[in-house]
């Protein structure tokens, strides 16, 4: 089969293309631009040109399919990483949706939640009282053992080994009792914080008194991070500061308010208009168990929305995420 391939100026390309016979259109045609900026039409794509972005044309000369330019190894690595991060974020979003479903199916109103919180606090206080009672008992036991040992010493007698062992064991029991009390206090604080967060989430989901707005080398690695909107936390303390700053970044760049705010995901409300930008930041671990903050940008599912998400504006928002966070945490 003879290959009809030519490089032409725009005017000449249009002229020749329009003059092609109907029989020529019966075969699939391709259009691409080579490294010299030349537009090429052909019914075959030579192997050496397969890496270029190309359009498939139907018998009427209309574009029916687009094959994007082949990615370099570096570009493919970025795409793979971005895909992995998005999957991790999708998992977080799915978990949040599941938590919301449980929340709404468990409680009828905020009063139910507050009553449940009160009952939980009472139960935890009772458990702590038991632990404090155990502590008092072993402290009294230790006091009695120490008095016995002191009395023996005052009478010039040697303290038996078994009594010394008992004193040591009782001291260890006291340490265990203190640890249990601290554990109960931490559990109570954690449960209270979780309940309060769930109450705020319930209010938002049911629209009760909520305000959605509240709700390779180093250079190469930095460039990659900027392209995909990634901030790698060096320490837990920096990550905590970065997480606070991520809220500010979203509020400054998104056009939709935050409607999900957890310790692993900050997500904006879905875009309603073609001009809307919904931003989300997820906290995930890399292969070394290091925390990372990943920025994702969503546009409306429409041709104009897709165009917006592919625009320079969105690329700039993504590339400024890491510098913004680093400046905010004071690095």
Would you state the pLDDT for residue 52?
A: 79
Question: Which pLDDT band holds residue 293 (cuts at 50, 70, 90)?
Answer: very high
Would you state the pLDDT for residue 216?
A: 40
**How many Å is the Cα radius of gyration of the chain?**
33
Label each residue of the chain as H, E or C: CCCCCEEECHHHHHHHHHHCCHHHHCCCEEEEECCCCCEEEECCCCHHHCCCCEEEECCCCCEEEEECCCCCHHHHHHHHHHHHHHHHHHHHHHHHHHHHHHHHHHCCCHHHHHHHHHHHHHHHHHHHHHHHHHHHHHHHHHHHHHHHHHHHHHCCCCCCHHHHHHHHHHHHHHHHHHHHHHHHHHHHHHHHHHHHHHHHHHHHHCCCCCCCCCCCCHHHHHHHHHHHCEEECCCHHHHHHHHHHHHHHHHHHCCCCEEEECCCEEEECCCCCCCCCEEEEEEEECCCCCEEEEEEEECCCCHHHHHHHCCHHHHHHHHHHHHHHHHHHCC
Residue 12, pLDDT > 60, answer: no
Residue 93, pLDDT > 50, answer: yes
Top-confidence residue, 23 or 261? 261
Residue 209, pLDDT > 60, answer: no
Residue 23, pLDDT > 50, answer: no
| Average model confidence (pLDDT) across the chain | 81
Top-confidence residue, 177 or 60? 177
Residue 231, pLDDT > 60, answer: yes
Dihedral Cα 28, 33, 39, 43, nearest 10 deg: -20
35-66 confidence digits (pLDDT tens): 888 888 888 888 878 777 888 888 877 888 87
Neighbour count for residue 15 (Cβ, 10 Å): 11
Nearest partner of 90 among 325, 292, 282, judged by Cα: 282
Residue 125, pLDDT > 90, answer: yes
CA distance linking residue 32 with residue 40, whole number of Å: 5
Stretch 186-211: mean pLDDT: 79
Would you state the pLDDT for residue 77?
A: 67
Stretch 222-250: mean pLDDT: 86
Would you state the pLDDT for residue 205?
A: 80
Stretch 103-113: mean pLDDT: 92
274-285 confidence digits (pLDDT tens): 999 999 998 887
Residue 95, pLDDT > 90, answer: no
Residue 80, pLDDT > 80, answer: no
Would you state the pLDDT for residue 10?
A: 44
Residue 127, pLDDT > 50, answer: yes
- For residues 113 and 107, is the Cβ–Cβ distance under 8 A? yes
Would you state the pLDDT for residue 106?
A: 93
């Amino acid at each position: 089969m003879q290959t009809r391939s030519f490089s032409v100026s725009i005017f000449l390309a249009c002229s020749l293309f329009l003059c092609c016979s109907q029989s020529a259109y019966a075969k699939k045609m391709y259009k691409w631009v080579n490294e010299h900026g030349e537009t090429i039409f052909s019914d075959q794509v030579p192997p050496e040109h397969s890496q270029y972005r190309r359009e498939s044309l139907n018998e009427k000369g209309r574009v029916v399919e687009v094959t994007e330019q082949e990615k370099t190894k570096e570009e493919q690595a970025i795409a793979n990483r971005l895909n992995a991060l998005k999957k991790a974020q999708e998992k977080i979003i799915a978990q949040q949706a599941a938590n919301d479903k449980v929340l709404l199916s468990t409680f009828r109103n905020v009063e139910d939640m507050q009553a449940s919180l009160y009952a939980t606090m009472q139960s935890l206080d009772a458990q702590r009282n038991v632990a404090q009672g155990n502590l008092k008992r072993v402290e009294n036991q230790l006091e009695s053992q120490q008095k016995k040992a002191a009395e023996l010493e005052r009478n010039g007698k040697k303290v038996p080994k078994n009594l010394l062992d008992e004193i040591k064991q009782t001291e260890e029991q006291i340490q265990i009792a203190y640890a249990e009390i601290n554990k109960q206090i931490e559990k109570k604080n954690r449960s209270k914080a979780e309940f309060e967060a769930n109450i705020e989430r319930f209010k938002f989901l049911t629209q009760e008194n909520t305000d959605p707005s509240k709700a390779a080398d180093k250079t190469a690695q930095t460039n990659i991070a900027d392209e995909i909107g990634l901030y790698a936390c060096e320490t837990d303390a920096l990550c905590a500061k970065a997480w606070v700053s991520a809220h500010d970044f979203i509020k400054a760049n998104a056009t939709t308010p935050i409607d999900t705010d957890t310790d692993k995901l900050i997500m904006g409300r879905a875009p309603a208009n073609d001009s809307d930008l919904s931003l989300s930041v997820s906290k995930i671990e890399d292969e070394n168990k290091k925390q990372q903050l990943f920025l994702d940008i969503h546009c409306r599912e429409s041709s104009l929305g897709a165009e917006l998400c592919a625009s320079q504006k969105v690329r700039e928002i993504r590339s400024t995420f890491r510098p913004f966070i680093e400046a905010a945490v004071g690095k």
